[in-house]
A and B are shown apart, each in its own frame.
Chain A
Amino acid sequence: MLAGSLSPSPDDDDHMDTGPTIGTATDSTFTFSLNDDNDEDDTTYFNDDIRSLTQWWINERCAPELLMYQADLVESLMEMMEAQAGIIESKSSDTPDSAFLVVLYQQEMERIKFIIRSYLRTRLAKIQRHTLHILREAEYRSRLSIDEIMFAEKYQELLAHHFQKFALEELPDYLQRLDDTTENLTMVSRPDLEDAVFCRIKEQIGVFQLESSDEAIEMRPNNIYFLRYNAIRRLMEDGKVDLV
């Protein structure tokens, strides 16, 4: 299909582009010291970005609609990986011990790259599925990164051009539109927000009234529910529940 040329090929996994600018989104200061032989060195730190992005990746994979792009997290992780790569490069790996350390550092970076790649691909798949809808609704448009907007516009253009060339131009004018609507049918495909999802409650929510029925459920931390995405959509955006 036409789309093939636009989607990232599985082979260029190592090449990642997250945005035209490298921002300074991260608020965590980090100092690396691979050469440090001093045990008492007090540079212990902890960074939660990987865990946060992992959860957004899971949310993105489970949610039927496109979620807000986590620009800060992706950028800060990309920056940290760049810094880490520089340090690894400067580090000699001539002894077996230091070579092993380098393997460990690289292993962590590969894990992070995997999450970022899968996250971006999940989003691209959704953009390809509901291109026109995402481009037209201001709310969804605002959830895209600059690169994603460019991708979506180009993709829609190619698609429209393709359909036009191969079939539509032979049809009468009134049949040429790609976004026709009748009373309750539309050609623009939209995500089904009532789709079923599993979610895990993170904090005390209390009595929760389901929109689709008269039943109310009491949501406590660590409860796991299988329900309509629409019901817990806002709670997920507020970080009160995680999709799983």
Chain B
Amino acid sequence: MALPKNLRNGFAPTEVEFLAESDMITIVPLHKMDALQLINGTYGPFRPPLKQEVPLWLAMTLKQKHKCQIQAPDWMDVDFLKTKLDEETANPEFSPMPFRFMEIAHLLLGCASDDIPQAETVRTLLKDLREARQSKARKGLQGLDPHYLQVDNMGLMEINEIRPFFSKAFNELRMLEPERTVGDSQTTASGMMSMS
């Protein structure tokens, strides 16, 4: 078929990472290089040691060729992540993290761990954070009703992980609900809206 079955209910983890590779990141070039006129825009010129903002995929390729150092994002910091972890375990809500933090962390720890201060500790803290958040997501399932669920501050990777199970559960609950409006769901417009 045109789209493989495993891609029909959400994204593959590699696709989620692909999306994160378009996010911007700061690099310190190690070699002089002219500006790149990409379709997406102009990046550079690269003049060490002047910092540059580039898409993550570009940073990763440059890093692989030892042409740059990647500056770890502010949140990939031991102290910051420790505070986050405390916050995460103390509060019932998800604490705010960048939307693509898991993917970016995974990519950076994979290709540029030497540029991240205390990379191993960062890795462990992120893992703890992830587990704390995963258990919250599981608890969140109890709050599921066939109308809506607010999941603020969840990251894309986290959303994608719970998607198959949550949609199935949501749709089952929806079937169990007594019919509310009779009408053709194909043509009904969206819910009424009032501006506040």
Contact = CB atoms under 8 A, between A and B. Distances in A.
Contacts of A163: none
A47 B40 contact: yes
A45 interface: yes
Contacts of A62: 10
B190 A211 contact: yes
A146 to B, nearest CB: 18
- The interface residues of chain A, by DSSP majority, are classed as mixed
Contacts of B21: 111
Interface in A224-244: 224-228, 230-235, 244
B61 A206 contact: no
A196 B41 contact: no
A33 B37 contact: yes
B186 A124 contact: no
Interface of B: 1-3, 7-8, 10-11, 15, 18-19, 21-22, 33-42, 45, 47, 57-58, 61, 65, 99, 146-154, 156, 159, 163, 166-167, 170-171, 174, 180-181, 185-186, 188-196
6 contacts: A108-B38, A128-B1, A194-B174, A195-B171, A234-B190, A235-B190
Interface of A: 3, 7-8, 30-34, 36-37, 39, 41, 43-47, 50-51, 54, 58, 61-62, 77, 80-81, 84, 97, 100-101, 103-105, 107-109, 111-112, 114, 118, 121-122, 124-125, 128, 137, 190, 192-198, 200, 205-213, 215, 217-218, 222-228, 230-235, 244
